[in-house]
């Protein structure tokens, strides 16, 4: 493996005690081409970082310059200034927050209700390798996609590229996510008693902030589609994310042609598995694993149901970030990700 014969790349992780941050620490600690040099958590500063021989630093005490690359697993608005500082100092940046995902400050203002904290950085490559690999390779800074957009875009990509979708019918994404997607901060929403035995839709229609990100990436790849309708639900599981996607095709497709389209599109993608015809993707296909999985079911000859699943903390966050890291540094794309 190419990563083993050279000095490891030094890595810093901001926000390392959150759920995605913990996964990043674990993945980087086991990565043969990387060396973790610092991990921040303001709340846990001075405590040992589980599984590695480091203590958490407060994020203000961690100079990005001590690392060749930083992963930012920080809240939006807090992340972009760190990205700007790291970038200015020559450190590469993989931003897992939402700050750099939208191409323009205007779009950020629209969806996040605040002025962009570092508009001079925009736009940056959107870090979904299966769709945007060429832009990511060697880039100094990338925006790691949101969990919902990752599952959604992987599920739609073959049809978008084939320009197979109706230009007017809506793209409907009924999404369900485990609770770790809501972050580690205790809230009424994440209280065990409120979640147990429950299922809760939230921000449905066109109000969830990931809608803007999905809109942008669909638009970038396809001239014209109907509106995106996106309905996330909170699932009573710790992790895992499913997007059940309903699309209308511009013209009739045979079931076998659809299946082939997906199988061919992802034939060489080790981190996206297309299930055989007749199998349905479930959370158990992907939880605690680095890859996503997709199943395709025609309902009529012009209506298709696509089920796309990922682990929200892995392909939806940390392992996708490591995939981007590998691409940015010219390492084998799945180094540290395939057992």
How long is the chain? 339
Q: In angstroms, rounded to a whole number, what is the distance separating the alpha carbons of residues 220 and 173? A: 18
Query: Residue 323 interacts with its own copies (CB under 8 A)?
Result: no
Query: Residue 318 interacts with its own copies (CB under 8 A)?
Result: no
Burial of 302 (0-12, 13-18, 19+ CB in 10 A): middle
55 is catalytic: no
List the one residue out of 130, 111, 239, 228 whose CA is nearest residue 176: 239
Catalytic, out of 98, 147, 156, 327:
147
* Of positions 10, 35, 260, 280, contacts its own copies by CB under 8 A: 280
Residues 200-229 that bind its own copies (CB under 8 A): 200-202, 204-206, 227, 229
Q: In angstroms, rounded to a whole number, what is the distance separating the alpha carbons of residues 295 and 278? A: 8
* Of positions 73, 97, 225, 244, contacts its own copies by CB under 8 A: 244
Residues that bind its own copies (rule: CB under 8 A) add up to a total of 59
Residues 89-148 that bind its own copies (CB under 8 A): none
Binding string, residues 246-265; x marks residues near its own copies by CB under 8 A:
x-x-----------------
Query: Residue 179 interacts with its own copies (CB under 8 A)?
Result: yes
Give the DSSP letter of residue 42. T
Residues 19-58 that bind its own copies (CB under 8 A): 19, 30
Q: In angstroms, rounded to a whole number, what is the distance separating the alpha carbons of residues 193 and 174? A: 24
Integer angstrom CA distances of residue 185 from 146, 175, 179, 182: 18, 22, 11, 8
| Min separation Cβ 139 and its own copies, Å | 30
* Region binding its own copies by CB under 8 A among candidate stretches 65-73, 120-128, 190-198, 323-331: 190-198
Query: Residue 197 interacts with its own copies (CB under 8 A)?
Result: yes
| Min separation Cβ 234 and its own copies, Å | 9
Q: In angstroms, rounded to a whole number, what is the distance separating the alpha carbons of residues 292 and 27? A: 17
| Min separation Cβ 233 and its own copies, Å | 7
> Torsions phi, psi of 265, nearest 5?
-55, -40
In the complex with its own copies, which residue's Cβ is closer, 163 or 202?
A: 202
Query: Residue 188 interacts with its own copies (CB under 8 A)?
Result: yes
List the one residue out of 121, 226, 214 whose CA is nearest residue 165: 226
| Min separation Cβ 176 and its own copies, Å | 6
| Min separation Cβ 239 and its own copies, Å | 8
* Of positions 133, 236, 269, 332, contacts its own copies by CB under 8 A: 236
Considering Cα of 176, then 180, then 181, then 187, what sign does the dihedral take? Answer: positive
Q: Establish how many alpha carbons lie within 13 A of residue 211's alpha carbon, considering only the half-sphere containing its beta carbon.
A: 21
Query: Residue 282 interacts with its own copies (CB under 8 A)?
Result: yes
Q: Taking a C-beta distance cutoff of 8 angstroms, is the pair 336, 31 a contact?
A: yes
* Of positions 114, 284, 330, 338, contacts its own copies by CB under 8 A: 284
- Tell me if the bond preceding 313 is cis, omega within 30° of 0: no
Query: Residue 194 interacts with its own copies (CB under 8 A)?
Result: yes
SS3 44: coil
List the one residue out of 129, 146, 148, 136 whose CA is nearest residue 69: 136
Q: Name the site residues for its own copies (rule: CB under 8 A).
A: 19, 30, 169-170, 172, 174, 176, 179-180, 184, 186-188, 190-202, 204-206, 227, 229, 231, 233, 235-240, 242, 244, 246, 248, 280-284, 287-288, 295, 297-300, 303, 305, 307, 339
- What positions carry a catalytic annotation? 147
């Amino acid at each position: 493996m190419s990563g083993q014969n050279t000095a490891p790349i030094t890595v810093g992780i901001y926000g390392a005690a959150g759920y995605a941050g913990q996964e990043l620490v674990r993945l980087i600690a086991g990565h043969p081409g990387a060396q973790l040099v610092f991990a921040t958590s303001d709340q846990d500063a001075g405590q040992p970082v589980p599984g590695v021989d480091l203590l958490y630093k407060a994020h203000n005490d961690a100079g990005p310059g001590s690392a060749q690359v930083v992963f930012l697993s920080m809240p939006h608005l807090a992340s972009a200034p760190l990205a700007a500082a790291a970038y200015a100092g020559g450190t590469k940046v993989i931003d897992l927050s939402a700050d750099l995902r939208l191409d323009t400050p205007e779009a950020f203002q629209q969806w996040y209700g605040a002025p962009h904290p570092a508009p001079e950085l925009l736009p940056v490559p959107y870090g979904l390798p299966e769709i945007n690999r060429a832009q990511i390779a060697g880039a100094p800074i990338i925006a790691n996609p949101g969990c919902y957009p990752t599952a959604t875009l992987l599920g739609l990509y073959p049809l978008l590229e084939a320009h197979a979708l109706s230009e007017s019918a809506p793209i409907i994404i009924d999404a369900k996510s485990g609770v770790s997607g809501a972050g580690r901060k205790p809230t009424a929403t994440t209280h065990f008693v409120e979640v147990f035995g429950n299922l809760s839709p939230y921000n449905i229609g066109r109000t969830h902030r990931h809608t803007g990100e999905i809109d942008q990436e669909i638009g970038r790849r396809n001239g014209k589609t109907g509106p995106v309708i996106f309905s996330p639900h909170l699932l009573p599981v710790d992790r895992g994310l499913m997007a059940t996607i309903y699309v209308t095709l511009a013209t009739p497709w045979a079931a076998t042609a659809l299946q082939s389209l997906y199988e061919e599109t992802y034939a060489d993608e080790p981190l996206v598995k297309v299930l055989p015809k007749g199998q349905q993707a479930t959370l158990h296909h992907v939880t605690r694993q680095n890859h996503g999985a997709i199943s395709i079911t025609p309902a009529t000859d012009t209506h298709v149901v696509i089920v796309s699943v990922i682990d929200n903390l892995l392909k939806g966050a940390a392992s996708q970030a490591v995939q981007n890291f590998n691409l940015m540094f010219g390492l084998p794309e799945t180094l540290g990700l395939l057992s």
